[in-house]
Amino acid sequence: MFKKVLVANRGEIALRIIRALREMGVKSVAVCSEADKDNFYCGLADDSICIGPAAAASSYLNVSQIISAALVKKCDAVHPGYGFLAENPHFAEICASYGLSFIGPSAETIALAGQKADIIDLVKRKKIPVVPGSKGVVANAAEAKKIAAAIKYPVIIKATAGGGGKGMRIVRSEKDIEQAFELAGAEAKNAFSNAGLYVEKYIEAPRHIEIQIAADKKGKVLYFPERDCSIQRNHQKVLEEGPSPQINAKLRKKLGETACRVAKLVNYTTVGTVEFLVSKNDFYFMEMNARIQVEHPVTEFVSDIDLMKLQIALAAGEDLPLNQDDVKEICHAVECRINSEDENYMPSAGKIERLILPGGPGVRVDTAMTNGSEISPFYDSMIAKIITYGRDRAEAIERMKRALLELKIEGVTTNIALHQKILRNENFVKGCYTTDFIGSMK
């Protein structure tokens, strides 16, 4: 097991990692920018170090500063959390070159999983169903037009690198494809330093289902009950739950086994997620995320397995301590992402003047915010993740309703009201929703 780990991230995910390391008896070192140096999670680590100015490019994305911090503090591993450098194969390579274990898959696996066009081509050759589309990166708008004409509109143009809804445009007619291609490419270049795009058939109103997997270095892979991430806006997730209210046992097994096949194809190790679009009983591979995800607490509740500890142990070379039969669905869980944003979903920076967090049976809050915390324009606007669980879906939902009533945030605008509206919606209560839910919600 590792002796000391540098936590190369910030906010609630940094705190989550620090807590897991402490329970495992492993020392932690937090990094922070000048904007974060007074945040309380840094004080909860065994040690901390400031790595640069507020701008992420000068701090949390500054590879040389992070490596230097790990070496100065005599760490033997680096945990990247999610976002920032978590899916950067170059960073994983540099960690290895300095004798630092990267808590995640290998650089080669990250590179393959991160190039969405390439991994789609790979799984397609292995007869795993994929959405019809381009073979690899599309060179220009003219080529995109030809592909769109062949697979029929509507199509979706996607960045081959990155995620979070950036570098994506839905196109419903030929007249719009040139502008959409240009805008998606510019956005991808700005967000991921990679303007590569590919084109897929746009599946109208599917469900967005993801399968959590775990794999050790001996090639053993297992899957967990699915998470339903269909409630999203602008291709960004808002509310997740697990298991999905519309996935039956037969389809769950197919999705899980397919996810394990994908993991083995790319020699995956530690924990990750395979994402699918599901339409009725048909499913299509979409992408693989080579990291722990924001919504991992849903799976931790549903399976009663600590994914963060499991990820760290697997990265240290330990064998998977479970067999597939050991992974059970023991409850239902719901997660709401509480963001500082206005009614148009635009980030809202400012100071949290008053914060009262919910509690009670079946409630978990992941946050690094306290009274007086600043929501910085330099970083993601997420304030907290509220996760509830219950013996069944109805109990988990009622607990979430209660939790959101208890939650008080003053000083910044939040999306609490949006979550309350979702939870009251008749179609959500019935479990009858797809990726167009928020746009069609009355």
Residue 217 sits in the same domain as residue 361:
yes
267: exposed, middle or buried (C-beta count within 10 Å: 0-12, 13-18, 19+)? middle
Domain assignment present for residue 57? The answer is: yes
Q: Is 22 a catalytic residue?
A: no
Say whether both 146 and 290 belong to one domain: no
Identify residue 324 by its one-letter amino acid code: Q
Contacts of 344 (CB under 8 A, 6+ apart): none
* The pairing of beta strand 4-7 with beta strand 77-79: parallel
Lowest mean pLDDT: which of 24-33, 138-147, 251-260, 263-272?
138-147
For residue 321, count other CB atoms closer than 10 A to its CB: 12
**pLDDT tens-digit readout, 17-75:** 999 999 999 999 999 999 998 888 899 999 999 999 999 999 999 999 999 999 999 99
Residue 403 to residues 6, 334, 336, 364, 413: CA-CA distances in angstroms? 33, 11, 10, 9, 18
Residue 343 confidence (pLDDT):
77
* End-to-end Cα distance, the chain: 52
Q: CATH number of the domain at 237, please.
A: 3.30.470.20
| Chain segment 299-308, per-residue pLDDT in tens | 999 999 999 9
135 vs 278, more confident: 278
Q: Is-above-0.85 flag for pTM?
A: yes
Query: Which of 179, 201, 223 marks a domain boundary?
Result: 201
Of the three residues 166, 201, 236, the one that is the final residue of a domain is: 201
- 324: region left, alpha or beta (phi > 0 left; psi from -120 to 50 alpha): alpha
Residues near 424 by beta carbon (within 8 Å), at least 6 away in sequence: none
For residue 145, what pLDDT is reported? 93
Would you say 104 and 315 are in contact if contact means Cβ atoms under 8 Å apart?
Answer: yes
> CA 384 → CA 254, 337, 406, distances in Å?
33, 6, 14
pLDDT over 80 (residue 364): yes
Which member of 10, 227, 291, 393 is catalytic? 291
Give the pLDDT confidence score for residue 162 in this predicted structure.
Answer: 67
Nearest alpha-carbon partner for 381 in 334, 342, 420, 419: 342
Percent of the chain with pLDDT over 70: 99
| Long-range contacts of the stretch 27-31 (C-beta < 8 A, 24+) | 27/3, 28/4, 29/4, 29/5, 29/69, 29/70, 29/73, 29/75, 31/6, 31/7, 31/59, 31/60, 31/66, 31/69
CA–CA gap between residue 422 and residue 233 (Å, rounded): 12
The answer as to whether 147 is a domain residue is yes
Q: Are residues 11 and 80 in the same domain?
A: yes
State the average pLDDT over residues 384-398.
98
331 found inside a domain: yes
Bridge partners, residue 77, by sequence: 5, 101
CATH number for the domain spanning 187: value is 3.30.1490.20
Per-residue pLDDT tens over the stretch 214-262 = 999 999 999 999 999 999 988 789 999 999 999 999 999 999 999 999 9
Mean pLDDT of the chain: 94
Identify the bridge partners of residue 365 per DSSP, sorted by sequence position: 386
Domain match, 424 and 293 both: yes
Residues 298 and 382 in one domain: yes
Task: Tell me: do 224 and 195 sit in the same domain.
Answer: no
Which residue range forms the structural domain that includes residue 369?
207-440
Question: In this structure, is residue 327 part of a structural domain?
Answer: yes
Residue 376 and residue 243 share a domain: yes
Block residue for tokens 């924001």: 294
- Do 274 and 310 lie in one domain? The reply is yes
Q: Which pLDDT score, from 0 to 100, does residue 367 have?
A: 97
Same-domain check for residues 316 and 376: yes
In a domain, 108, yes or no: no
Judge if 397 and 253 occupy the same domain.
Answer: yes
Kindly state the average pLDDT of the residues 205-220: 96
Domains: count for the chain:
3
pLDDT tens for each residue of 157-200: 999 886 667 889 999 999 999 999 999 999 998 888 889 998 98
Residue 127 lies in a domain: no
- Kindly state whether residues 278 and 415 are assigned to the same domain: yes
Of the pLDDT bands very low, low, confident and very high (cuts 50, 70, 90), residue 442 is low
Q: Is residue 197 part of a domain?
A: yes
Question: Which CATH number does the domain housing residue 80 bear?
Answer: 3.40.50.20
Judge contact between 103 and 311, C-beta under 8 A: yes
| pLDDT score for 418 | 96
Region 356-367 average pLDDT:
98
From 148, 168, 201, the end of a domain falls on 201
Provide φ and ψ at 293, rounded to 5°: -115, 160
Instruction: Identify whether residues 175 and 91 lie together within a single domain.
Output: no
The average pLDDT across 266-284 equals 94
